[in-house]
Amino acid sequence: MALMNGAQYIESLRKLDIKVYMFGERVKNFVDHPIIRPSINCVSMTYELATMPEYEDLMTATSNLTGKKINRFGHMHQSTDDLRKKVKMLRLLGQTTSSCFQRCVGMDAFNAEYSTTFEIDQKYGTNYHENFKKYLTYVQENDLTVDGCMTDPKGDRGLSPSQQADPDLFLHVVEKRADGIVVRGAKAHQTGSINSHEHLIMPTMTMTEADKAYAISFAIPSDVEGLYMIYGRQSCDTRKLEEGADVDLGNKQFGGQEALVVFDNVFVPNDRIFMCEEWDFSGMLVERFAGYHRQSYGGCKVGVGDVVIGAAALAADYNGAAKASHIKDKLIEMTHLNETLYCCGIACSAEGFKTAAGNYQIDLLLANVCKQNVTRFPYEIVRLAEDIAGGLMVTMPSEKDFKSDLKVGSMTLGETCNKYFKGVASVPTENRMRILRFLENMCLGMAAVGYRTESMHGAGSPQAQRIMIARQSNLGHKKELAKKIAGIKE
Protein backbone atom coordinates (compact mmCIF):
# COMPACT_ATOMS: atom_id res chain seq x y z
CA MET A 1 0.00 0.00 0.00
CA ALA A 2 1.19 3.52 -0.77
CA LEU A 3 1.26 6.22 1.89
CA MET A 4 -2.25 7.11 3.04
CA ASN A 5 -3.47 10.69 2.98
CA GLY A 6 -5.54 12.25 5.74
CA ALA A 7 -8.92 11.37 4.25
CA GLN A 8 -7.89 7.75 3.64
CA TYR A 9 -6.75 7.45 7.25
CA ILE A 10 -10.10 8.68 8.54
CA GLU A 11 -11.95 6.24 6.29
CA SER A 12 -9.72 3.38 7.48
CA LEU A 13 -10.97 3.94 11.04
CA ARG A 14 -14.56 3.33 9.92
CA LYS A 15 -13.64 -0.26 9.06
CA LEU A 16 -12.67 -1.01 12.67
CA ASP A 17 -15.07 -2.24 15.34
CA ILE A 18 -13.39 -0.41 18.22
CA LYS A 19 -15.40 -0.52 21.43
CA VAL A 20 -15.56 3.03 22.79
CA TYR A 21 -17.51 4.21 25.84
CA MET A 22 -18.22 7.78 26.91
CA PHE A 23 -20.62 9.29 29.44
CA GLY A 24 -21.79 5.80 30.46
CA GLU A 25 -22.74 4.45 27.05
CA ARG A 26 -21.28 2.89 23.89
CA VAL A 27 -20.23 5.32 21.16
CA LYS A 28 -21.20 3.52 17.97
CA ASN A 29 -19.83 6.08 15.50
CA PHE A 30 -16.72 7.41 17.20
CA VAL A 31 -15.25 8.75 13.95
CA ASP A 32 -17.88 11.47 13.62
CA HIS A 33 -18.49 12.13 17.32
CA PRO A 34 -18.01 15.89 17.91
CA ILE A 35 -15.88 15.37 21.02
CA ILE A 36 -13.61 12.74 19.41
CA ARG A 37 -13.35 14.01 15.82
CA PRO A 38 -10.88 16.89 16.50
CA SER A 39 -8.37 14.36 17.83
CA ILE A 40 -8.84 12.25 14.69
CA ASN A 41 -8.22 15.37 12.60
CA CYS A 42 -4.93 15.78 14.44
CA VAL A 43 -3.73 12.29 13.51
CA SER A 44 -4.89 12.82 9.93
CA MET A 45 -2.37 15.67 9.61
CA THR A 46 0.47 13.20 10.21
CA TYR A 47 -0.74 11.51 7.02
CA GLU A 48 -1.67 14.60 5.02
CA LEU A 49 1.66 16.40 5.50
CA ALA A 50 3.50 13.23 4.39
CA THR A 51 1.88 13.58 0.95
CA MET A 52 3.08 17.18 0.47
CA PRO A 53 6.35 17.57 -1.50
CA GLU A 54 7.55 20.46 0.66
CA TYR A 55 7.49 18.24 3.78
CA GLU A 56 8.64 14.97 2.23
CA ASP A 57 12.13 15.12 3.76
CA LEU A 58 10.75 15.49 7.29
CA MET A 59 7.57 13.41 7.09
CA THR A 60 8.86 10.36 5.19
CA ALA A 61 11.85 8.03 5.30
CA THR A 62 13.22 4.90 3.61
CA SER A 63 12.47 1.71 5.53
CA ASN A 64 15.51 -0.28 6.66
CA LEU A 65 13.30 -3.38 6.41
CA THR A 66 11.83 -3.05 2.92
CA GLY A 67 13.73 -0.22 1.23
CA LYS A 68 10.39 1.47 0.51
CA LYS A 69 9.24 5.02 1.23
CA ILE A 70 7.25 5.11 4.48
CA ASN A 71 5.77 7.61 6.89
CA ARG A 72 8.48 8.63 9.37
CA PHE A 73 6.18 7.66 12.24
CA GLY A 74 6.86 4.01 11.35
CA HIS A 75 10.61 4.41 10.86
CA MET A 76 13.58 2.91 12.69
CA HIS A 77 16.08 5.75 13.19
CA GLN A 78 19.16 4.98 11.09
CA SER A 79 21.33 7.97 12.02
CA THR A 80 21.55 11.03 14.23
CA ASP A 81 20.16 12.92 11.24
CA ASP A 82 17.01 10.77 11.49
CA LEU A 83 16.77 11.65 15.18
CA ARG A 84 17.03 15.37 14.43
CA LYS A 85 14.47 15.13 11.63
CA LYS A 86 12.08 13.45 14.04
CA VAL A 87 12.25 16.45 16.39
CA LYS A 88 11.78 18.89 13.50
CA MET A 89 8.83 16.88 12.20
CA LEU A 90 7.15 17.00 15.60
CA ARG A 91 7.67 20.75 15.84
CA LEU A 92 6.08 21.17 12.41
CA LEU A 93 3.04 19.13 13.45
CA GLY A 94 2.74 21.06 16.72
CA GLN A 95 2.74 24.30 14.72
CA THR A 96 0.13 22.86 12.35
CA THR A 97 -2.33 21.47 14.90
CA SER A 98 -1.49 23.26 18.16
CA SER A 99 -2.42 20.02 19.86
CA CYS A 100 -1.31 16.44 20.49
CA PHE A 101 -1.18 14.49 17.21
CA GLN A 102 -0.83 11.20 19.08
CA ARG A 103 1.49 9.10 16.90
CA CYS A 104 4.73 9.81 18.79
CA VAL A 105 4.10 7.10 21.38
CA GLY A 106 3.93 4.35 18.78
CA MET A 107 7.02 5.59 16.94
CA ASP A 108 9.00 5.75 20.18
CA ALA A 109 7.79 2.29 21.21
CA PHE A 110 8.89 0.85 17.83
CA ASN A 111 12.46 2.02 18.27
CA ALA A 112 12.68 0.83 21.87
CA GLU A 113 11.23 -2.58 20.95
CA TYR A 114 13.57 -2.99 17.98
CA SER A 115 16.78 -2.78 20.01
CA THR A 116 15.46 -4.47 23.16
CA THR A 117 14.05 -7.56 21.40
CA PHE A 118 17.40 -7.97 19.64
CA GLU A 119 19.22 -8.08 22.96
CA ILE A 120 16.68 -10.42 24.59
CA ASP A 121 17.19 -12.86 21.72
CA GLN A 122 20.98 -12.63 22.12
CA LYS A 123 20.70 -13.72 25.77
CA TYR A 124 17.86 -16.22 25.65
CA GLY A 125 17.74 -17.48 22.07
CA THR A 126 14.15 -16.33 21.68
CA ASN A 127 12.55 -15.18 18.43
CA TYR A 128 11.17 -11.84 19.56
CA HIS A 129 13.23 -9.66 17.22
CA GLU A 130 12.02 -11.54 14.13
CA ASN A 131 8.47 -11.35 15.45
CA PHE A 132 8.82 -7.61 15.85
CA LYS A 133 10.42 -7.04 12.44
CA LYS A 134 7.56 -8.92 10.76
CA TYR A 135 5.05 -6.89 12.74
CA LEU A 136 6.77 -3.60 11.93
CA THR A 137 6.88 -4.51 8.24
CA TYR A 138 3.12 -5.07 8.39
CA VAL A 139 2.66 -1.67 10.04
CA GLN A 140 4.84 0.09 7.48
CA GLU A 141 3.28 -1.65 4.48
CA ASN A 142 -0.22 -0.65 5.61
CA ASP A 143 0.75 2.81 6.94
CA LEU A 144 -0.90 2.13 10.29
CA THR A 145 -1.20 4.25 13.41
CA VAL A 146 -0.10 2.27 16.47
CA ASP A 147 -0.78 3.31 20.04
CA GLY A 148 2.14 2.65 22.36
CA CYS A 149 0.78 1.48 25.74
CA MET A 150 2.99 1.63 28.81
CA THR A 151 1.22 3.15 31.82
CA ASP A 152 -0.72 0.79 34.11
CA PRO A 153 -3.30 2.02 36.65
CA LYS A 154 -0.78 0.88 39.36
CA GLY A 155 -3.15 0.87 42.33
CA ASP A 156 -1.17 1.24 45.57
CA ARG A 157 2.10 2.91 44.49
CA GLY A 158 3.80 1.54 47.60
CA LEU A 159 3.35 -2.06 46.41
CA SER A 160 4.89 -3.98 43.52
CA PRO A 161 2.62 -5.45 40.81
CA SER A 162 2.55 -8.91 42.40
CA GLN A 163 1.75 -7.43 45.84
CA GLN A 164 -1.40 -5.57 44.77
CA ALA A 165 -4.71 -6.62 46.36
CA ASP A 166 -6.14 -6.69 42.83
CA PRO A 167 -3.64 -8.26 40.37
CA ASP A 168 -5.39 -6.63 37.41
CA LEU A 169 -4.12 -3.17 38.37
CA PHE A 170 -1.06 -4.09 36.30
CA LEU A 171 -1.52 -5.84 32.95
CA HIS A 172 -0.40 -9.46 33.26
CA VAL A 173 -0.47 -12.95 31.78
CA VAL A 174 -3.32 -15.06 33.13
CA GLU A 175 -2.95 -18.07 30.83
CA LYS A 176 -0.28 -19.59 28.59
CA ARG A 177 -1.34 -21.65 25.59
CA ALA A 178 0.57 -23.47 22.88
CA ASP A 179 -0.47 -20.81 20.38
CA GLY A 180 -0.16 -17.71 22.58
CA ILE A 181 -1.08 -16.04 25.86
CA VAL A 182 -4.15 -14.52 27.50
CA VAL A 183 -3.75 -11.18 29.30
CA ARG A 184 -5.90 -9.15 31.68
CA GLY A 185 -5.65 -5.66 33.16
CA ALA A 186 -5.64 -2.13 31.77
CA LYS A 187 -3.51 0.70 30.47
CA ALA A 188 -4.32 4.26 31.61
CA HIS A 189 -3.86 7.72 30.04
CA GLN A 190 -3.53 6.16 26.58
CA THR A 191 -2.93 8.92 24.04
CA GLY A 192 -4.68 8.36 20.73
CA SER A 193 -5.81 4.85 21.60
CA ILE A 194 -9.22 5.20 19.95
CA ASN A 195 -7.65 6.66 16.79
CA SER A 196 -5.16 3.81 16.35
CA HIS A 197 -5.34 0.73 14.16
CA GLU A 198 -3.14 -1.28 16.53
CA HIS A 199 -1.88 -1.26 20.12
CA LEU A 200 1.73 -2.05 21.11
CA ILE A 201 1.96 -2.96 24.80
CA MET A 202 5.02 -2.58 27.04
CA PRO A 203 5.67 -3.11 30.77
CA THR A 204 5.21 0.02 32.86
CA MET A 205 8.29 -0.27 35.10
CA THR A 206 11.37 -2.30 35.92
CA MET A 207 10.16 -5.69 37.15
CA THR A 208 11.66 -8.21 39.55
CA GLU A 209 11.46 -11.97 39.16
CA ALA A 210 8.44 -11.98 41.48
CA ASP A 211 6.66 -9.75 38.97
CA LYS A 212 7.62 -11.67 35.83
CA ALA A 213 3.98 -12.26 34.83
CA TYR A 214 3.78 -8.48 34.32
CA ALA A 215 6.94 -8.29 32.16
CA ILE A 216 5.12 -8.60 28.85
CA SER A 217 5.16 -6.87 25.49
CA PHE A 218 2.96 -7.62 22.49
CA ALA A 219 0.82 -6.12 19.73
CA ILE A 220 -2.90 -6.47 19.06
CA PRO A 221 -5.49 -4.95 16.70
CA SER A 222 -7.51 -2.17 18.33
CA ASP A 223 -10.76 -4.05 17.77
CA VAL A 224 -9.57 -7.42 19.08
CA GLU A 225 -12.08 -9.37 21.17
CA GLY A 226 -11.98 -8.43 24.84
CA LEU A 227 -10.48 -4.95 24.33
CA TYR A 228 -12.51 -1.82 25.08
CA MET A 229 -11.83 1.83 25.84
CA ILE A 230 -13.35 4.42 28.15
CA TYR A 231 -12.84 7.96 26.85
CA GLY A 232 -11.22 10.46 29.21
CA ARG A 233 -12.93 13.77 29.98
CA GLN A 234 -11.31 17.12 29.33
CA SER A 235 -12.19 20.54 30.65
CA CYS A 236 -14.90 22.23 28.57
CA ASP A 237 -15.32 19.12 26.36
CA THR A 238 -19.12 19.41 26.16
CA ARG A 239 -18.77 22.78 24.43
CA LYS A 240 -18.20 20.65 21.32
CA LEU A 241 -21.73 19.30 21.70
CA GLU A 242 -23.32 22.75 21.58
CA GLU A 243 -25.25 23.53 18.41
CA GLY A 244 -23.24 25.75 16.07
CA ALA A 245 -20.23 25.82 18.42
CA ASP A 246 -17.35 27.72 16.84
CA VAL A 247 -15.65 30.65 18.56
CA ASP A 248 -16.12 29.25 22.07
CA LEU A 249 -14.12 26.13 21.15
CA GLY A 250 -10.84 28.00 20.67
CA ASN A 251 -9.17 25.30 18.58
CA LYS A 252 -12.18 23.95 16.71
CA GLN A 253 -10.45 21.68 14.22
CA PHE A 254 -7.85 19.86 16.32
CA GLY A 255 -7.55 18.26 19.76
CA GLY A 256 -6.00 15.44 21.76
CA GLN A 257 -7.47 12.39 23.45
CA GLU A 258 -6.76 9.99 26.29
CA ALA A 259 -8.54 6.81 27.32
CA LEU A 260 -8.49 3.89 29.72
CA VAL A 261 -7.82 0.76 27.65
CA VAL A 262 -9.19 -2.40 29.27
CA PHE A 263 -7.97 -5.94 28.46
CA ASP A 264 -10.68 -8.40 29.45
CA ASN A 265 -8.95 -11.75 28.85
CA VAL A 266 -7.43 -10.78 25.50
CA PHE A 267 -5.70 -13.51 23.48
CA VAL A 268 -2.31 -12.70 21.91
CA PRO A 269 -0.86 -15.12 19.31
CA ASN A 270 2.79 -16.17 19.59
CA ASP A 271 3.96 -14.24 16.54
CA ARG A 272 2.83 -10.97 18.12
CA ILE A 273 4.66 -11.48 21.43
CA PHE A 274 7.89 -9.50 21.94
CA MET A 275 8.55 -10.21 25.64
CA CYS A 276 7.01 -12.75 27.97
CA GLU A 277 8.39 -12.95 31.51
CA GLU A 278 11.94 -11.83 30.60
CA TRP A 279 11.72 -9.55 33.62
CA ASP A 280 15.41 -8.62 33.55
CA PHE A 281 14.85 -6.72 30.26
CA SER A 282 11.78 -4.82 31.42
CA GLY A 283 13.89 -1.92 32.70
CA MET A 284 15.80 -1.66 29.44
CA LEU A 285 12.61 -1.43 27.41
CA VAL A 286 11.08 1.13 29.77
CA GLU A 287 14.19 3.33 29.86
CA ARG A 288 14.71 3.27 26.10
CA PHE A 289 11.10 4.05 25.34
CA ALA A 290 11.05 6.81 27.95
CA GLY A 291 14.22 8.30 26.48
CA TYR A 292 12.80 8.43 22.96
CA HIS A 293 9.52 9.84 24.21
CA ARG A 294 11.21 12.49 26.33
CA GLN A 295 13.15 13.52 23.23
CA SER A 296 9.79 13.87 21.43
CA TYR A 297 8.69 16.60 23.82
CA GLY A 298 11.54 18.78 22.58
CA GLY A 299 9.66 18.91 19.27
CA CYS A 300 5.91 18.63 19.74
CA LYS A 301 5.61 20.92 22.77
CA VAL A 302 7.87 23.47 21.08
CA GLY A 303 5.62 23.57 18.02
CA VAL A 304 2.56 24.10 20.20
CA GLY A 305 4.52 26.70 22.15
CA ASP A 306 5.17 28.59 18.90
CA VAL A 307 1.40 28.92 18.41
CA VAL A 308 0.81 29.97 22.04
CA ILE A 309 3.46 32.69 21.70
CA GLY A 310 1.86 33.87 18.47
CA ALA A 311 -1.57 33.95 20.09
CA ALA A 312 -0.26 35.94 23.06
CA ALA A 313 1.35 38.45 20.68
CA LEU A 314 -1.95 38.79 18.80
CA ALA A 315 -3.82 39.33 22.07
CA ALA A 316 -1.40 42.15 22.89
CA ASP A 317 -2.04 43.65 19.44
CA TYR A 318 -5.81 43.44 19.83
CA ASN A 319 -5.67 44.85 23.36
CA GLY A 320 -3.57 47.80 22.18
CA ALA A 321 -0.68 46.81 24.46
CA ALA A 322 1.88 45.52 21.95
CA LYS A 323 4.22 48.50 22.32
CA ALA A 324 4.49 48.23 26.11
CA SER A 325 8.04 47.29 27.13
CA HIS A 326 6.88 44.70 29.68
CA ILE A 327 4.79 42.95 27.01
CA LYS A 328 7.77 42.80 24.65
CA ASP A 329 9.91 41.41 27.46
CA LYS A 330 7.37 38.69 28.26
CA LEU A 331 7.23 37.59 24.64
CA ILE A 332 11.04 37.47 24.58
CA GLU A 333 11.03 35.32 27.71
CA MET A 334 8.44 32.97 26.21
CA THR A 335 10.55 32.60 23.08
CA HIS A 336 13.71 32.02 25.13
CA LEU A 337 12.05 29.22 27.11
CA ASN A 338 10.54 27.60 24.03
CA GLU A 339 13.78 27.59 22.07
CA THR A 340 15.64 26.18 25.08
CA LEU A 341 13.31 23.17 24.94
CA TYR A 342 14.06 22.79 21.23
CA CYS A 343 17.81 22.97 21.93
CA CYS A 344 17.50 20.03 24.32
CA GLY A 345 15.55 18.00 21.76
CA ILE A 346 18.15 18.63 19.07
CA ALA A 347 21.07 18.07 21.44
CA CYS A 348 19.97 14.62 22.65
CA SER A 349 19.42 13.71 19.00
CA ALA A 350 22.82 14.95 17.82
CA GLU A 351 24.50 12.96 20.60
CA GLY A 352 22.65 9.77 19.65
CA PHE A 353 24.41 6.45 19.03
CA LYS A 354 23.94 3.16 17.21
CA THR A 355 22.45 0.24 19.18
CA ALA A 356 23.45 -3.40 18.83
CA ALA A 357 20.34 -3.92 16.69
CA GLY A 358 21.40 -1.17 14.27
CA ASN A 359 18.89 1.58 14.96
CA TYR A 360 19.91 4.82 16.68
CA GLN A 361 19.13 5.81 20.24
CA ILE A 362 19.20 9.29 21.73
CA ASP A 363 21.51 10.40 24.53
CA LEU A 364 19.49 9.36 27.60
CA LEU A 365 20.85 12.03 29.96
CA LEU A 366 20.08 14.89 27.59
CA ALA A 367 16.65 13.43 26.71
CA ASN A 368 15.74 13.38 30.40
CA VAL A 369 17.03 16.94 30.84
CA CYS A 370 14.81 17.88 27.88
CA LYS A 371 11.69 16.43 29.50
CA GLN A 372 12.57 17.84 32.93
CA ASN A 373 12.57 21.30 31.34
CA VAL A 374 9.25 20.50 29.64
CA THR A 375 7.71 19.89 33.07
CA ARG A 376 8.50 23.53 33.90
CA PHE A 377 8.86 25.85 30.91
CA PRO A 378 5.40 25.41 29.31
CA TYR A 379 3.84 26.33 32.65
CA GLU A 380 5.77 29.61 32.62
CA ILE A 381 4.93 30.17 28.94
CA VAL A 382 1.24 29.66 29.75
CA ARG A 383 1.47 31.95 32.80
CA LEU A 384 2.96 34.72 30.67
CA ALA A 385 0.36 34.14 27.95
CA GLU A 386 -2.43 34.51 30.51
CA ASP A 387 -0.75 37.64 31.87
CA ILE A 388 -0.62 39.20 28.40
CA ALA A 389 -4.16 38.13 27.46
CA GLY A 390 -5.82 39.68 30.50
CA GLY A 391 -8.76 38.60 32.64
CA LEU A 392 -11.25 38.73 29.78
CA MET A 393 -9.84 35.37 28.68
CA VAL A 394 -11.85 33.72 31.48
CA THR A 395 -14.71 36.17 32.08
CA MET A 396 -15.97 36.72 28.53
CA PRO A 397 -19.64 35.93 27.76
CA SER A 398 -20.52 33.10 25.40
CA GLU A 399 -20.52 33.21 21.63
CA LYS A 400 -24.34 33.03 21.74
CA ASP A 401 -24.44 36.26 23.75
CA PHE A 402 -22.30 38.01 21.16
CA LYS A 403 -24.68 36.88 18.42
CA SER A 404 -27.96 37.31 20.33
CA ASP A 405 -30.61 39.69 18.94
CA LEU A 406 -32.51 39.68 22.24
CA LYS A 407 -33.39 43.29 23.04
CA VAL A 408 -32.29 44.47 26.49
CA GLY A 409 -32.75 48.20 27.07
CA SER A 410 -31.65 50.25 24.07
CA MET A 411 -29.48 47.49 22.52
CA THR A 412 -29.50 43.77 21.82
CA LEU A 413 -27.26 41.47 23.86
CA GLY A 414 -25.04 41.06 20.80
CA GLU A 415 -24.68 44.80 20.32
CA THR A 416 -23.88 45.25 24.00
CA CYS A 417 -21.18 42.56 24.00
CA ASN A 418 -19.59 43.80 20.79
CA LYS A 419 -19.61 47.39 22.11
CA TYR A 420 -18.10 46.78 25.53
CA PHE A 421 -15.60 44.09 24.60
CA LYS A 422 -14.08 46.07 21.76
CA GLY A 423 -10.31 46.51 21.89
CA VAL A 424 -8.31 48.28 19.16
CA ALA A 425 -10.78 50.11 16.92
CA SER A 426 -9.48 48.55 13.70
CA VAL A 427 -9.85 44.98 15.02
CA PRO A 428 -13.30 43.30 14.89
CA THR A 429 -14.50 42.30 18.34
CA GLU A 430 -14.96 38.75 17.09
CA ASN A 431 -11.26 38.49 16.25
CA ARG A 432 -10.35 39.57 19.75
CA MET A 433 -12.82 37.06 21.15
CA ARG A 434 -11.41 34.26 18.98
CA ILE A 435 -7.80 34.72 20.09
CA LEU A 436 -8.78 34.96 23.76
CA ARG A 437 -10.89 31.79 23.50
CA PHE A 438 -7.98 30.09 21.79
CA LEU A 439 -5.66 31.02 24.66
CA GLU A 440 -8.27 29.84 27.18
CA ASN A 441 -8.39 26.55 25.30
CA MET A 442 -4.58 26.19 25.29
CA CYS A 443 -4.01 27.29 28.88
CA LEU A 444 -7.04 25.96 30.74
CA GLY A 445 -9.40 24.05 28.50
CA MET A 446 -9.51 21.10 26.12
CA ALA A 447 -6.04 21.60 24.65
CA ALA A 448 -4.40 21.85 28.09
CA VAL A 449 -4.13 18.05 28.09
CA GLY A 450 -1.99 18.33 24.96
CA TYR A 451 0.22 21.14 26.25
CA ARG A 452 0.17 22.28 29.86
CA THR A 453 -0.82 19.20 31.92
CA GLU A 454 0.69 16.72 29.47
CA SER A 455 3.97 18.63 29.73
CA MET A 456 4.00 17.64 33.40
CA HIS A 457 2.89 14.01 33.28
CA GLY A 458 3.41 12.80 29.71
CA ALA A 459 6.47 10.52 29.23
CA GLY A 460 6.75 10.28 33.00
CA SER A 461 6.27 12.79 35.78
CA PRO A 462 9.20 14.99 36.94
CA GLN A 463 10.62 12.54 39.48
CA ALA A 464 11.01 9.87 36.78
CA GLN A 465 13.36 12.15 34.86
CA ARG A 466 15.27 13.10 38.00
CA ILE A 467 15.91 9.41 38.74
CA MET A 468 17.26 8.91 35.21
CA ILE A 469 19.35 12.09 35.39
CA ALA A 470 20.93 10.76 38.61
CA ARG A 471 21.68 7.40 36.93
CA GLN A 472 23.18 9.01 33.85
CA SER A 473 25.06 11.87 35.53
CA ASN A 474 28.38 9.96 35.95
CA LEU A 475 29.05 11.67 39.27
CA GLY A 476 32.11 9.53 39.97
CA HIS A 477 33.83 10.83 36.83
CA LYS A 478 33.03 14.40 37.84
CA LYS A 479 34.59 13.80 41.27
CA GLU A 480 37.77 12.53 39.64
CA LEU A 481 37.95 15.65 37.48
CA ALA A 482 37.74 17.83 40.59
CA LYS A 483 40.34 15.75 42.45
CA LYS A 484 42.82 16.00 39.61
CA ILE A 485 42.55 19.76 39.27
CA ALA A 486 42.54 20.28 43.07
CA GLY A 487 45.65 18.11 43.46
CA ILE A 488 44.01 15.46 45.63
CA LYS A 489 45.84 12.12 45.60
CA GLU A 490 44.42 8.97 47.18
| Local structure of 88: helix, strand or coil | helix
| Local structure of 404: helix, strand or coil | coil
Tell me the β-bridge partners of 11: none
Q: Is 297 a catalytic residue?
A: yes
Distance CA 59, CA 73 (A): 8
Q: β-strand 146-149 against 198-201: which pairing, if any?
A: parallel
Catalytic-labelled residue, pool 104, 236, 348, 417: 104
Q: Is 457 a catalytic residue?
A: no
Q: Is 149 a catalytic residue?
A: no
From 291, 103, 274, select the one nearest 198 (Cα to Cα): 103
Q: Is 33 a catalytic residue?
A: no
Cα torsion 382, 387, 388, 392 to 10°: value is 100
Q: Are 241 and 235 in contact (CB under 8 A)?
A: no
Q: Are 246 and 399 in contact (CB under 8 A)?
A: yes
Q: Is 124 a catalytic residue?
A: no
Annotate 161-197 with b (16+ C-beta within 10 A) or e (fewer).
Answer: bbebeebbbbbbbeeeeeebbebbbbbbbbbbbbbbb
In the chain, the amino acid numbered 490 is E
Catalytic-labelled residue, pool 80, 96, 97, 191: 191
Q: Is 199 a catalytic residue?
A: no
Catalytic-labelled residue, pool 300, 348, 370, 443: 300
- 17 burial via Cβ count (<10 Å: 0-12, 13-18, 19+): exposed
Give the other-Cβ count within 10 Å of 479's Cβ: 11
From 286, 294, 297, select the one nearest 151 (Cα to Cα): 286
Give the other-Cβ count within 10 Å of 407's Cβ: 10
Q: Are 44 and 13 in contact (CB under 8 A)?
A: no
Catalytic-labelled residue, pool 113, 119, 399, 454: 454
What DSSP designation does 201 have? E
Secondary structure (DSSP) of 4-72: P-HHHHHHHHHT----EEETTEE-S--TT-TTTHHHHHHHHHHHHGGGSGGGHHHHEEE-TTT--EEEG
Q: Is 342 a catalytic residue?
A: no
Catalytic-labelled residue, pool 33, 75, 129, 293: 293
Catalytic-labelled residue, pool 114, 128, 297, 342: 297
From 327, 367, 371, 339, select the one nearest 460 (Cα to Cα): 371
Q: Are 234 and 189 in contact (CB under 8 A)?
A: no
Catalytic-labelled residue, pool 48, 113, 198, 258: 258
Q: Is 293 a catalytic residue?
A: yes
Distance CA 292, CA 65 (A): 20
Catalytic-labelled residue, pool 46, 75, 97, 100: 100
The catalytic residues are 100, 104, 191, 258, 293, 297, 300, 454
